[in-house]
Structure 1
Amino acid sequence: MLAIRFDRFGGPEVLTPVDVPAPVPGPGEVLVAVEAAGVNFADTFQVDGSYLDPALLPHVPGGEVVGRTEDGRRVLAKVAHGYAELAVAREAALVEVPEELDAARALALLTQGLTAWHLLRSAARLRPGESVVVHSAAGGVGSLAVQLAREFGAGRVLAQASTPDKERLALDLGADEPARYPLARRADVILDAAGGELFAHALGSLADFGRLVTYGNASRAAFAALDPGRLGRLNASVVGFWLRPTLALPGALDGPLKELFALTLQGRLRPVAGPEYPLAQARTAHEELLARRTTGKVVLRPGAV
């Protein structure tokens, strides 16, 4: 079968289409014929060595797929090696996907949707009427966070994005206005995956008892040490978030995901489908993602040319 593999750490150039044997499910596992594989920023960290031990090379990346089981069920699944025509998933972790929900939107709701849901509900503990600033508001997580903030009762939603077109997308999704630092009014909640300069601006822009939730470092800039005394003077907090350990908690997956499915099918939530690439063009997909030239959910399609 066709898969995308890297044999050494590096940039997108190390991603190579290869022919490999089909995986064999073990006890409690099922084989999934991949309809589409999601591309996440975290995948680029696997490729450059930030997430993986060298002993795990060679490696097929990809953590999520939509596909069909051998008995015909259409499912959404967390997997270990999703950039392939076939993947193995735990039976207990499969989520059946309605036929009317296309693969790109379903994939957007798994990693990005659950991240946005937990950022607002679990990490920030958003209260009705509070103001929310969303960084990278046209991206996979950001575009959903803008909408969910509104759905969860935020009073004002401000969107930070890297280009005017991305700002317009965020406004179309429900943001009240673009975020410009310094903010005209301090914010109760700020969601940041960029780090670097944006993190510094955000920290100084929190209202009393505001929460800055950090869930990534797309800028790759080194974080300055946080002075607890400064947090005290700001009367604010910084909250770290990572989806992987969160999903190990009871009720962290099924309930939120079912709510996201329902909101989407009701038309109240619009996952943004980004560009789609043939599986063999995974390198191009990573290049575009890293260059911030994509919006919404990026997917790879086995069988596409």
Structure 2
Amino acid sequence: MHQAQVQEWGQAPKFIEVDEPALGVDEVRITVLATGVHQVVRSRAAGKHYSSGKLPHVPGVDGVGETDDGQMVYWFSMERGTMADRVNIPKRNIRPLPEGPDPVQAAGIINPALSSWMAFKTRTKDLPAHFTVLIVGATSASGRVAISLARALGAKRVIGAGRNKTIMETLGLDGTVVIADKPEETDWSALGDVDVILDYVYGPVTAHLLASLKSRRATQYVHIGALSGQDLLLPGAVLRSKNLTIRGSGPGAWAMHEMAQSIDELLALVKGIPEQPIKLAKLEDIEAFSPRSCQRFLSYIVGWISVLGWQTGLASIAFIAGTLIQGLIVLNNPDYIFQRWHGTLLIIAIVAFAVLFNTVFAKHLPVIEGLVLILHLLGFFGVIIPLWVLSPRNTAGTVFTQFDNLRGWPTQGVSFMVGLLTSVYGLLGADSAVHSKSHGVFIIGGMPPLVVDQAYHVVVSEEIRDASIVLPRATMWSIVVNGAFGWVMVITFAFIAGNPLDIVDSQTGYPFIDAFYNATGSKVGTSVMVGIMIVNTTSSVISTLATVKPGWNIPLNAVLVTFCCTALLSLINIGSTAAFNAVSSMGTNALLTTYIISIGCVVVRRLRSLPLPARRWSLGRAGLFVNLIALAFLLWIWVFLFFPQTTPVTLSTMNWNVLINGGVMILAFAYYYLHGKREYTGPVALVKDNT
């Protein structure tokens, strides 16, 4: 028969073939129909639960199945595991399944229901009639079932606390508390008198809750789960100043015979519990989609690549802003000698300016970014109108039919693909709006009951209302609008540039500065036009650092480390601009790699006809086609990112991207297998269960 086994803590279960176990005394063989991956199952399989036991570990604690004589039963077993074709279970742990409940619903609901049922039955005492209960973590699977059970047991008032207000409003609660991102900002003042607190969250959230509690009644607190953290710091004054009883609920806090008795009671009620949204996966698929290996490994590697991409990308943007300033100096002062170390100092100054706005002036960022947006839109017309009006024009035939291969490549096609990378660079970063706490966290997700973690992108902007629809729409429109602006500007430049050979070796370092000057005949006008670009580019540096919402609640250490990284990278420019460009261009390669991995994960799920996470922005039937086109384009571009810009290739013109990227990946792989896989907690484990 087949069985799922965890052979190393934190790794995916393996779908393996094992011998049929011998049937013991007072045991019953059960053919498994459904078994749930509850929070306790995931925690045990990760080796993080106090009841995990030894390896190899068979996941699962309960299930629904059929005995050899055809009886439908529910069973529980902390010792045997349940993810197998068949299991041998002691008779005392088996209960007939009442007629009515769907077997899948029963397998998915009973354990989550048991957590609150056991808490009420064995860990609370002398509850008053029509008591009030607060369920912390009400949007979790266990929390939702707890609402129904609390009412069945006589609760008059059920209050829910969770992070997703919209979902809580659909649960039939008598009151809600929205848990803030910073637990100390959560407003618990509306609770009033509370008789029982069932807590699935724990950690800092609970510490602030208990400190804020102002109930005039005796309150019984029961700890059940720890979605927010395994530890809390609770001042002794809280315990002395509250009429508060604190208990825990779990195996050990109650006896197994108490659980067996409670299951009998619970099975009688299971038909009346509202059906929960349960998604299915086959046992044989568990290794293919299990989160613990794929998610942790992919998120770890993508995290490394993202850090590489954003750090080098920031240096690249600052380099453009700094050397544009140098270009204007050359234009306005012919006696100025272009020095690379001047550019390095300007890079450092630009990034220091960005750090200033992300620390001291962080609260003004929304206003500044709004002004920059206005400048961006008006500046487009401020640049393009003088070019249309004042400059001489190339003919349409020259613009659309003449191709100049100035890179030395043997074919126009290769030269075109290498040159296309500049345009790709200009369209990067549109996804940055959805990163609020970390970048590039893209993970493969499975589905309950076998595999529960299911987010593809776990962090979105926390500053935007209705972000699930607003952010994708804004991202798409930003690409459409800026892509259209870029297309118009490219065509305009092709018409006004004159002979490319006359400007390609510009003393300013940027041929378009010479083209602007040739078009306007005015150094002041050219300086203003280029100045608009400098402001916009500098604002990009500010935005790249601005990864949290305005205020002093910022990752200051991360901002300063980023500043130091950029400053150190800019020193390369003193020795060789070509070498610096090779390093900074890694940003494009790294970010495209994260896109390839993330879109690739989506494509795999679509091709396997696996359900995608709930989402409001959907491409519908066109989704797979769009994903495949995007993946093919990205892979094609990704290959050419490693090509040198010109031939013949020398040490100074070589594109060292392949060496540097390869080195970073080798380090990432080595560090993960030597250290990271034991210490690294993937983002899915940190995501609060808001659905």
TM range (shorter): 0.7 to 0.9
Corresponding position of 1:212: 221
Contact 2:132–2:157 (Cα < 8 Å) also in 1: yes
The 2-side partners of 1:3 and 1:117 are apart by 30
Q: 1:237 aligns with which of 223, 226, 245?
A: 245
Distance 1:130 1:73, change over 3 A: same
State whether structure 2 residue 158 is matched by structure 1 residue 149: no
Residue 244 of structure 2 aligns with an amino acid whose one-letter code is A
The 2-side partners of 1:144 and 1:53 are apart by 24
Corresponding position of 1:298: none
Contact 1:202–1:212 (Cα < 8 Å) also in 2: no
Distance 1:245 1:200, change over 3 A: closer
Corresponding position of 2:86: 86
Corresponding position of 1:95: 95
Contact 1:137–1:166 (Cα < 8 Å) also in 2: no
Q: CA deviation at 1:186?
A: 4.0
Corresponding position of 2:73: 75
Distance 1:112 1:235, change over 3 A: same
**1:101-116 matched pairs, under 5 angstroms:** 101-116=101-116
Contact 1:123–1:241 (Cα < 8 Å) also in 2: yes
Corresponding position of 1:117: 117
The 1-side partners of 2:41 and 2:274 are apart by 24
Contact 2:21–2:88 (Cα < 8 Å) also in 1: yes
Residue 33 of structure 1 aligns with an amino acid whose one-letter code is T
Residue 6 of structure 1 aligns with an amino acid whose one-letter code is V
Distance 1:292 1:24, change over 3 A: farther
The 1-side partners of 2:167 and 2:113 are apart by 19
Contact 1:264–1:271 (Cα < 8 Å) also in 2: no
Corresponding position of 2:189: 183
Question: Secondary structure of the residue that 2:30 maps to in structure 1?
Answer: strand
Instruction: Tell me the alpha carbon deviations over residues 259-299 of structure 1, each in whole angstroms, 9 at most, x when there is no partner.
Output: 3333343x3x325242222223442214338445685xxxx
Residue 104 of structure 2 aligns with an amino acid whose one-letter code is A
**1:221-232 matched pairs, under 5 angstroms:** 221-224=230-233, 227=236, 229-232=237-240
The 1-side partners of 2:165 and 2:64 are apart by 32
The 1-side partners of 2:110 and 2:14 are apart by 26
Corresponding position of 1:259: 265
Instruction: Tell me the alpha carbon deviations over residues 174-205 of structure 1, each in whole angstroms, 9 at most, x when there is no partner.
Output: x2121243231242211112111221132132
**1:1-305 matched pairs, under 5 angstroms:** 1-10=1-10, 13-51=11-49, 56-79=54-77, 80-125=80-125, 126-171=127-172, 175-180=173-178, 181-184=187-190, 185-204=192-211, 205=213, 207=215, 208-224=217-233, 227=236, 229-243=237-251, 246-250=254-258, 252-254=259-261, 256-265=262-271, 267=272, 269-282=273-286, 283=290, 284=446, 285-288=451-454, 290=685, 291-292=687-688
Question: Secondary structure of the residue that 1:232 maps to in structure 2?
Answer: helix
Residue 107 of structure 2 aligns with an amino acid whose one-letter code is L
Q: CA deviation at 1:152?
A: 1.9
Distance 1:54 1:292, change over 3 A: closer
Question: Secondary structure of the residue that 1:17 maps to in structure 2?
Answer: strand
Residue 134 of structure 1 aligns with an amino acid whose one-letter code is I
Greater percentage in helix: 2
Distance 1:217 1:293, change over 3 A: closer
Contact 1:4–1:84 (Cα < 8 Å) also in 2: yes
Residue 224 of structure 2 aligns with an amino acid whose one-letter code is Y
Contact 2:36–2:63 (Cα < 8 Å) also in 1: yes
Distance 1:38 1:54, change over 3 A: closer
Larger relative contact order, structure 1 or 2 (CA cutoff 8 Å, min sep 6): 1
Residue 73 of structure 1 aligns with an amino acid whose one-letter code is Q
Greater percentage in strand: 1
Structure 1 consecutive aligned stretches of length 4 or more whose deviation exceeds 4 Å: 52-55, 289-295
Distance 1:3 1:164, change over 3 A: farther
Question: Secondary structure of the residue that 2:196 maps to in structure 1?
Answer: strand
Note the residue ranges of structure 2 that are not aligned, 5 or more in a row: 179-186, 291-445, 455-683
The 1-side partners of 2:31 and 2:283 are apart by 13
Distance 1:226 1:242, change over 3 A: farther
What is the TM-score when the length of structure 1 is the normalising length? Answer: 0.83
The 1-side partners of 2:128 and 2:144 are apart by 20
Distance 1:149 1:76, change over 3 A: same
Aligned length in residues: 285
Q: CA deviation at 1:64?
A: 0.6
The 2-side partners of 1:87 and 1:245 are apart by 27
State which drifts further: 194-203 or 179-188.
179-188
Instruction: Tell me the alpha carbon deviations over residues 121-148 of structure 1, each in whole angstroms, 9 at most, x when there is no partner.
Output: 3223332222211122132321121112
What is the TM-score when the length of structure 2 is the normalising length? Answer: 0.39
Residue 51 of structure 1 aligns with an amino acid whose one-letter code is H
Q: CA RMSD in A?
A: 2.6
Question: Secondary structure of the residue that 2:219 maps to in structure 1?
Answer: strand
The 2-side partners of 1:53 and 1:158 are apart by 31
Question: Secondary structure of the residue that 1:141 maps to in structure 2?
Answer: helix
Contact 2:131–2:156 (Cα < 8 Å) also in 1: yes
Instruction: Tell me the alpha carbon deviations over residues 15-39 of structure 1, each in whole angstroms, 9 at most, x when there is no partner.
Output: 2222222232211111110000111
Distance 1:68 1:206, change over 3 A: farther
Distance 1:52 1:193, change over 3 A: closer
